Amino acid sequence: MTAGKFEVADGWVLQAYQYALDPTPAQRAALESHAGGARFAYNTMLRAVKANLSQRDAERSYGIDTADLTPRLSWSFQSLRNDFNRRKHQVAVREDGTPWWPENSKEAYANACKNLAAALKNWDESDKGKRKGPRVGFPSFKSKRSTRKFAFTTGTIEVEADRHHVTLPRLGTLRVHESTRKLARRLEQGTARVLKATVRLERGCWLVSFTCVVERAARRPAHVKRVAPVVGIDVGVKDLVIAATPEGDEVMRVCAPKEFKQASRKLRALQRKAARRQGPWDAPAKTRREPSAGWLRTQRAIAKQHVRVANLRRDRLHKLTTVLAQSFDVIGTETLAVKNMMASGGTRKKGLNRAIADAGLGEFSRQLDYKTIWYKSVRVRADRWYPSSKTCSGCGSVKAKLTLAERLYVCDNNDCGLRIDRDLNAAINLARLARAEQSACFDSGGADRKTTAPAALVAAKPESSNGSASPQGEAA
């Protein structure tokens, strides 16, 4: 297993530990300075790259041969870093000529150059068709409204023995809100090593995230009992998870908590309150102005509500995916393109889009991927075109059309006539597909974790509720 150029040994995994910082006013100013320095380094080198490309384009338009053009500025991390170190003496200075760059750690500037090098590489590979997935645009400049963050990879990065402080280069020892005992114990026992510390400002709160390589035994904890060997899991926005066995027994059903929907009433009241305050934008004059103290206070209350919603959702997803990965040996799931599911429909389905985002289906899938490896279970993904909701779990016939409003599955086959909960029906089909795939893998000695739909089902691609082919999978 590799992480960039770092080789992760067998039996070890990459894992992050995140803590909320409680800095003093002086430390908060230092955090702001480091974040601003990282943004400055990124923008400075991006400006240099764009100037170099523009110069070469201009010379090319004059008819100059390619060999005689201005040399291309290297986009490698080391080249960008060295170039910034040469430029900083002229650009990173105050109006009176005194340099300000020594006030921050060199790592903040270096990691900004590293991020720019990665962004340029992604754009270049995407432009040449070498990168899979959505098209990547050319990097843009970071404004003061961009996420404020910076990182350290060398220097003094420590978790203090008192379990309530961390030490970072140039910033010194900072207090954290929650206990760091889980990471501290691993570091003391030698079963973890810190590779990187990333600091960022999120909704008014400074967070530090330690990227570590951790020794983990791939096994189910002894105190956790297996609920079933094989299950299928159907996810949705009403019932977040419905788990069923191939025999048709429902073993788990978890309703979607809808954290954002529950907090929306208070958020609407706060937004109306902020609208009555003097904000940073004067609409009649179309100019910026200094916001009032009441507006700033209301914005902090709004941010606090969003932080609470995000924390509740994250906690819920971590607990749920851990239970699933520990309780079942083989888990069959759909392959959902959550981004595509929320990309179309406009105003008429904004409520559904909001519910999908509130459920956190993309994060659920991401966490289930690595936790099944941690706890020695297997996740079997159905093909995106596999019609788990449209297939009858009784006779195997496939419906031509099934709208999201139909919560009860009724088989069209007169000889069957099965009537069953739509989500339970999909979970049973996914469980049977996972069992069949695992049997095929054991017979062939392989370990493929992804399945494809049977040929007969691929030939008749499922349709969305409006009758057109849907590339997004099924989530209901």
Residue 286 CA to residue 284 CA, distance in Å, equals 6
CA atoms of 361 and 350, how far apart (whole Å): 16
> Closest Cα partner for 236 from 401, 388, 396?
388
What pLDDT sits at residue 164? 96
Helix (H) or strand (E) holding 229: strand 228-235
Degrees, nearest 5: CA angle 13-14-15:
110
Radius of gyration of the chain, Cα coordinates, nearest whole angstrom: 27
* Residue 4: predicted pLDDT: 53
Helices (H) and strands (E) in the chain, counts: 11, 18
Q: What's the pTM value of the predicted model, to 2 decimals? A: 0.83
Low-confidence ranges of the chain (pLDDT < 50): 2, 447-476
Instruction: Provide the token pair at 304.
Output: 């606090």
DSSP 302-362: HHHHHHHHHHHHHHHHHHHHHHHHHHEEEEEE----HHHHTTS-GGGGHHHHHHHHHHTHH
The pLDDT value recorded for residue 314 is 94
Q: Kind and range of the H or E element at 242? A: strand 239-244
pLDDT of residue 97: 85
Contact in structure between 330 and 380 (CB atoms under 8 Å): yes
In whole angstroms, give the CA distance from residue 341 to residue 349: 10
Instruction: Provide the CB-side half-sphere exposure for 102 (13 A, CA).
Output: 3
What's residue 467's pLDDT? 34
The values of phi and psi at residue 208, to 5°, are: -120, 135
pLDDT of residue 11: 85
**Model pLDDT, residue 475:** 47
- Smallest CA-to-CA distance from 473 within 317, 365, 320, 313 is with 365
Q: Is 90 helix (H, G, I), strand (E, B) or coil?
A: helix
Nearest to 34 by CA among 106, 118, 99: 106
19: helix, strand or coil: strand
